[in-house]
């Protein structure tokens, strides 16, 4: 009886995830079809609010949502960093800076923006002047590639050695003191090669997207490896699992974006596969980066499709009803 109840609950969760993602992805397509006329779309779906923003950039290579309702985006190709804020049915540009080599970014509970920029030490961005200053978060002799702030305000940094190519993941407190360093597995082999993106779930587990080879490594608070996810044979049989980003949803699951297949893999907080969503029928855009707010608002950074004549990356803001 208990097994059946758990199974049914799992089915309901998966169905809910599928429904939410399907609504969001279909909304993108319909909004493009309607040229941003969304009144009919909102009436016909579970969406309370929906709009898209033309960035004027060629790509969105990172996006984060902040507690003050602002959104920061970065374009690697354009070397542009921008702060946006919702204003009616648009995202207004508040700040813009020229920055190169921004691998990742995160927001501290003080609302300070920190950047990983091909250095050992994370940098703090002055949002008025655009100047960068050193933080206390240092992973020398590694170069920082990914950064994430947990709900408990721990700073998690993924780094890689320049010479030997080994990757480590460092968990630090707010003062920059190491609390846990994930280096080697039980066979004394390096756990990571190139930690590309990091997220965490409410049970304290840390999910790391390791780019080479493509896999998600789930780390427990005690320093153990909980699980390793390497994609799905049905999805990645002919196309390798190439992770670009990983985020946690308000429901406490992790969504992994698979770059070459453009499939979203949904994992539970233990890193176990639940389902996947294939938005390949939306040909105009490539969905690469997602950001979620605690209130259930979704931001989706989309690049122009490969064959598009207009290189105008877009950001979609979606608020689902009842979230």
- DSSP string for 154-219: -EEEEEEETTT--EEEEEE-TTS-EEEEE-B-TTS-BSBS-EEEEEE-TTS-EEEEETTTTEEEEE
Q: Are 209 and 170 in contact (CB under 8 A)?
A: no
How confident is the model at residue 25, as a pLDDT?
59
CA 278 to CA 191: how far, in whole Å?
Answer: 29
How confident is the model at residue 243, as a pLDDT?
85
Residues 6+ apart with CB under 8 A from 121: 134, 135, 137, 138, 139, 140, 144
Radius of gyration of the chain (CA): 19
Averaged in consecutive runs of 10 residues, what is the pLDDT profile of the chain (323 residues)? 42 47 57 47 47 83 90 92 86 92 93 93 94 97 96 95 87 96 92 94 94 91 91 85 87 85 87 79 60 79 65 76 46
How confident is the model at residue 4, as a pLDDT?
41
Assigned token pair, 72: 């920061």
DSSP character for 139?
A: -
How confident is the model at residue 300, as a pLDDT?
84
How confident is the model at residue 313, as a pLDDT?
85
How confident is the model at residue 42, as a pLDDT?
37
User: Domains of the chain (ranges plus CATH)?
Assistant: 2-320 (2.120.10.30)
Assigned token pair, 270: 């233990």
How confident is the model at residue 180, as a pLDDT?
95
Q: How many CB atoms lie under 10 A from the CB of residue 161? A: 14
How confident is the model at residue 31, as a pLDDT?
53
Largest CA distance in the chain: 61
CA 30 to CA 38: how far, in whole Å?
Answer: 8
How confident is the model at residue 62, as a pLDDT?
93
In three-state secondary structure terms, 16 is helix
Using CA atoms in the order 178, 180, 186, 192, what is the torsion angle rounded to 10 degrees?
Answer: -70
- Burial 86-109, CB ≥16 within 10 A → b, else e: beeeebeeebebebeebbbbbbbe
CB hemisphere CA count around 236 (13 angstroms): 20
């Amino acid at each position: 009886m208990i097994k059946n109840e758990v199974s049914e609950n799992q089915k309901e969760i998966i169905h809910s995830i599928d429904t939410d993602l399907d609504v969001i992805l279909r909304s993108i397509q319909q909004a493009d079809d309607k040229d941003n006329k969304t009144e009919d779309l909102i009436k016909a779906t579970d969406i309370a609010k929906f709009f898209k923003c033309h960035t004027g950039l060629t790509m969105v290579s990172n996006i984060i949502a902040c507690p003050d309702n602002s959104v920061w985006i970065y374009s690697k190709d354009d070397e542009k960093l921008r702060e946006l804020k919702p204003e009616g049915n648009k995202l207004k540009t508040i700040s813009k800076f020229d920055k190169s080599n921004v691998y990742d970014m995160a927001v501290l509970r003080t609302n300070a923006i920190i950047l990983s920029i091909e250095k050992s030490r994370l940098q703090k961005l002055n949002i008025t002047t655009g100047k960068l200053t050193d933080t206390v978060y240092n992973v020398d002799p590694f170069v920082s590639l990914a950064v994430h702030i947990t709900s408990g305000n721990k700073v998690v940094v993924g780094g890689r050695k320049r010479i030997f190519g080994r990757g480590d993941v460092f968990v630090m407190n707010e003062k920059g003191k190491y609390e846990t360093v994930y280096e080697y597995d039980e066979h004394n082999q390096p756990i990571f090669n190139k930690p590309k993106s990091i997220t965490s779930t409410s049970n304290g587990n840390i999910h790391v997207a390791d780019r080479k080879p493509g896999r998600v490594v789930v780390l427990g608070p005690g320093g153990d490896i909980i699980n390793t996810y390497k994609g799905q044979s049905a999805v990645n049989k002919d196309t390798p699992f190439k992770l670009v980003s990983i985020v946690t949803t308000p429901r406490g699951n992790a969504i992994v974006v698979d770059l070459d297949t453009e499939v979203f893999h949904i994992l539970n907080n233990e890193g176990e596969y639940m389902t996947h969503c294939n938005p390949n029928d939306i040909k105009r855009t490539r969905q690469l980066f997602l950001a979620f707010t605690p209130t259930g608002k979704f931001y989706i950074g989309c690049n122009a499709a490969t064959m598009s004549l207009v290189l105008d990356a877009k950001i979609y803001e979606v608020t689902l009803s009842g979230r």
